Structure 1
């Protein structure tokens, strides 16, 4: 399990891309587009709103779980 904190002005979707790029040793621009799996804007809106929403989806051979504070790759 890989855990990345969402820091500063990074959006949840940016953190997903950076985490997957790091773990697969692949430049972000060479990854499969995130929007082919999930709408990045919707993901950002869901997990940064009020409440404790957690979103899980499969991307680049990982199960990705995102909440307001962190991204988890399994």
Structure 2
């Protein structure tokens, strides 16, 4: 069974981005991960392979409380209901 870190968002992120009022969370996630890797946004597999994008958007429509963390490629992506996306290293991935 894959080991899951309890709270990847407690580590210093590689990048943290605020989601603007007119932006989708998916766009910010894709842009943030691409910036960490220094590749174009389309340089990764589709984000919907890692997380249900519609559910993610609905979950944070109100910008209330909550945190969702999911693994995307070699990163942990953390989305907060307050409107931030942070990208963290996966400690289990070796270079």
Q: CA deviation at 1:50?
A: 5.7
| RMSD value, Cα | 1.4
Size of the aligned set, in residue pairs, is 74
- 1:29-50 CA distance string (max 9 Å, x none): 2211111110111111112236
**Partners of 1:70 and 1:50 in 2: how far apart?**
10
Matched, 1:56 2:64: no
Structure 1: any 5+ residue segments left out of the alignment?
A: none
Runs of 4+ in structure 1 displaced over 4 angstroms? none
Of the two structures, which has the highest relative contact order with CA contacts closer than 8 Å and spacing of 6 or more? 1
Task: Verify: 1:30 aligned to 2:43, yes or no.
Answer: yes
Unaligned runs of 5+ in 2: 1-12, 89-95
Measure the CA separation in 2 of the matches of 1:50 and 1:10. Answer: 13
Distance 1:49 1:40 in 2: 16
Q: Is the 8 A contact 1:4 1:71 kept in 2?
A: yes
Q: Which residue in 2 is equivalent to 1:11?
A: 24
CA deviation digits over 1:38-71, x for unaligned, max 9?
0111111112236302110001211111013100
Q: Cα distance, 1:4 vs. partner?
A: 0.6
